């Protein structure tokens, strides 16, 4: 199992109220539905999400980067949640570099909360580290101390299963942040507001949604004059549903640039006003959205301008029944044809050979790794008399008259073959493609 534990600066001494961790827990739900609040930390079980996010290294790097923006001051990874929390308290980032018992044995016994009521007695017994406690007789620990200590040790070392009450994603998003220092200008509030926006975007990602409006509120310092009021707020709206942190930060910065504060600000609060489902409408295999601030079309135009139009090509479908000419490549900056390609009701191969391969014959049956069994057909394709290629004066017509069949090969699978039917020529069989 892969667990992560995240601790924050305001949680160094005593466990905070649950609402202080609502924002980070909501953010963590974009990575896994198994998120829980464990004492003063947010713990996340990530084993099932590793493949979805491109492997452990990519997932770890992404969480580390975003957790830093949230203000996380210690983050640790371990095979179970309690061990991850203990490592985070000790400042050890990983519980996978050595066997977990060896790592935990070297930690101070204060990293385990269950030892807090017994620190004096354990110290008198000569215990300083968790390994010292483990070397004590289990029967003696059970009789002299409460059951919680032995249970916590077993859970931390993976000898007993853990049980969690999973965090439930709230229906609405509201969170607040106490600024580390008082802010006197509105643009300076963006540093703290970004931390709240990261939490908002994580909450939106967990809901598969975007926002078209959010409100940032600020509260004046308690020492501010009464004439300044309690604070202020600003509402930011987007043209379409959005959950990109950088885009929302840019919009907020533009709005804050026109705000004049009446008194220093000490607290910020962020609220999502309009939340709508975010659906991807693109059918492209390429990332044609503006996640990086530039569409795919603009990027291709810029690359083609640098390298030359002939170096950047894109496939274009053509309304042609001849398989070789149903698609061609054209320079990317060139306008796409507006002709609509009519769908075909006949089977089309998944893979097409660059050139049809002529097949050997056994009597009247074509061979390809053995005799072929014709399943469906024939499907007549005829045309191309108008299509000529080659230099002027030596152009060749691309006229084709073919009967296509779906054939089955015992060793090669389902194939796409055709028989030529040009007048005056002997018929021949060719392999043109295969089905996945």
Are 195 and 128 within one domain?
A: no
Q: Judge contact between 130 and 109, C-beta under 8 A.
A: yes
The dihedral built from the CA positions of residue 108, 114, 117 and 118, taken in this order, carries a sign that is negative
Same domain, 28 and 73: yes
d(CA 320, CA 342): 9
Quote the pLDDT of residue 388: 75
Would you state the pLDDT for residue 18?
58
Strand-pair partners of 366 = 361
Tokens read off for 363: 């009597």
Instruction: Judge if 227 and 309 occupy the same domain.
Output: no
In a domain, 26, yes or no: yes
C-beta of residue 38 within 8 angstroms of C-beta of residue 21: no
Q: Which residues pair with 376 in a beta bridge?
A: 406
Residue 380 lies in a domain: yes
E strand or H helix at 420, and its extent? strand 413-420
Taking the CA atoms of residue 83, residue 175, residue 276 and residue 242 in that order, the dihedral angle to the nearest 10 degrees is -80
pLDDT tens for the chain, residues 1 to 436: 899 999 976 534 444 455 678 888 988 998 999 999 988 899 999 999 999 888 999 999 999 988 888 888 899 999 999 999 999 999 999 999 899 999 999 999 999 999 999 999 999 989 999 999 999 988 888 888 888 899 999 999 999 999 899 998 888 999 888 888 888 888 888 888 998 999 999 999 988 899 989 999 998 877 666 777 788 888 888 877 888 898 888 888 888 888 888 888 888 999 999 998 877 665 565 555 444 445 666 567 667 766 766 788 878 877 777 777 777 787 776 656 655 556 666 778 888 888 889 999 888 889 998 899 999 888 888 877 777 777 777 677 777 788 899 999 988 899 999 988 765 566 789 999 899 8
Of 285, 316, 341, the position where a domain reaches its end is 341
CA distances from 328 to 332, 337, 350 (A): 12, 12, 16
Given 341, 371, 395, the domain boundary residue is 341
CA distance 61 to 93: 13
**Is the Cβ–Cβ distance between 304 and 325 less than 8 Å?**
no
For residues 28 and 41, what is the distance between their CA atoms, to the nearest angstrom? 12
In a domain, 166, yes or no: no
**Cβ contact 44:3 at 8 Å:** yes
Domain assignment present for residue 398? The answer is yes
143 and 180 fall within a common domain: no
Residues 187 and 256 placed together within one structural domain of the fold: yes
Q: Report how far residue 88's alpha carbon sits from residue 129's, in angstroms, rounded to the nearest whole number.
A: 16
Please indicate, yes or no, whether residues 182 and 80 belong to a single structural domain of this protein: no
Residue 288, domain member (yes or no): no
Residue with tokens 């391969």: 357
Residue 94 belongs to what domain range?
3-156
Residue 195 lies inside a defined structural domain of this protein: yes
Do 56 and 116 lie in one domain? The reply is: yes
- Statement to judge: residues 7 and 146 lie in one domain: yes
Q: Which helix (H) or strand (E) holds 213?
A: strand 209-220
In a domain, 366, yes or no: yes
Question: What integer pLDDT is reported at residue 11 of this predicted model?
Answer: 39
How far is Cα 28 from Cα 225, in angstroms, rounded to an integer?
Answer: 39
Asked whether 212 and 274 are in contact (CB, 8 A), the reply is yes
> What distance lies between CA 186 and its chain's CA centroid?
33
Both 52 and 142 in one domain: the answer is yes
The number of folded domains in the chain is 4
7/150 same-domain check: yes
Of 156, 183, 209, which residue sits at a domain end? 156
Q: Is residue 197 included in any domain, yes or no?
A: yes
Whether residue 22 is found in the same domain as residue 148:
yes
Produce one character per residue of 175-206: b if its CB has 16 or more CB atoms within 10 Å, e if not: bbbebeeebeebebbbebbbbbbbbbbbbbbb
Does 150 share its domain with 201?
no
């Amino acid at each position: 199992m892969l667990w992560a534990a995240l601790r924050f600066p305001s949680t160094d001494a005593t466990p905070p109220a649950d609402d202080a961790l609502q924002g980070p827990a909501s953010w963590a739900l974009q990575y896994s539905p198994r998120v829980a609040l464990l004492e003063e930390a947010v713990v996340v079980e990530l084993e099932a999400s590793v493949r979805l996010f491109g492997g452990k290294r990519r997932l770890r790097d992404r969480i580390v980067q975003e957790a830093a923006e949230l203000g996380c001051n210690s983050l640790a990874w371990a095979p179970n949640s309690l061990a991850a929390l203990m490592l985070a308290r000790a400042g050890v980032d990983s519980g996978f570099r050595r066997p977990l018992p060896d790592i935990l044995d070297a930690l101070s016994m204060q990293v385990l909360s269950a030892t807090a009521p017994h620190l004096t007695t354990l110290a008198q017994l000569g215990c300083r580290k968790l390994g010292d406690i483990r070397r004590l007789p289990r029967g003696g620990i059970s009789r002299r101390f409460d059951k919680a200590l032995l249970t916590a040790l077993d859970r931390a070392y993976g000898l007993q299963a853990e049980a969690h009450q999973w965090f439930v994603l709230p229906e609405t998003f509201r969170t607040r942040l106490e600024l580390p220092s008082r802010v006197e200008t509105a643009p300076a509030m963006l540093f703290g507001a970004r931390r709240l926006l990261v939490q908002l975007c994580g909450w939106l990602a967990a809901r598969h949604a975007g926002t078209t409006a959010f409100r940032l509120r600020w509260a004046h310092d308690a020492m501010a004059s009464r004439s300044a009021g309690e604070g202020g707020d600003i509402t930011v709206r987007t043209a379409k549903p959005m959950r990109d942190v950088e885009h929302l930060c840019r919009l907020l910065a533009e709005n804050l640039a026109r705000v004049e504060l009446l008194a220093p600000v000490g607290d910020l609060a962020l609220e999502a006003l309009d939340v709508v489902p975010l659906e991807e409408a693109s059918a492209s295999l390429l990332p044609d959205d503006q996640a990086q601030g530039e569409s795919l079309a603009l990027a291709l135009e810029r690359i083609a301008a640098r390298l030359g139009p002939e170096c950047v090509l894109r496939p274009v479908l053509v309304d042609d029944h001849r398989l070789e000419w149903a698609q061609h490549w054209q320079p990317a900056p060139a306008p796409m044809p507006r002709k609509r390609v009519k769908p075909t009701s006949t089977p089309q191969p998944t893979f097409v050979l660059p050139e049809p391969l002529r097949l050997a014959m056994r009597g009247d049956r074509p061979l390809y790794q053995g005799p072929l069994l014709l399943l469906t057909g024939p499907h007549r394709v005829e045309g191309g008399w108008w299509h000529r290629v080659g230099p002027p004066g030596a152009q060749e017509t691309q006229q084709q008259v073919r009967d296509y069949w779906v054939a089955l090969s015992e060793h090669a699978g389902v194939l796409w073959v055709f028989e030529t039917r040009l007048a005056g020529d002997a018929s021949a069989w060719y392999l043109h493609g295969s089905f996945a």
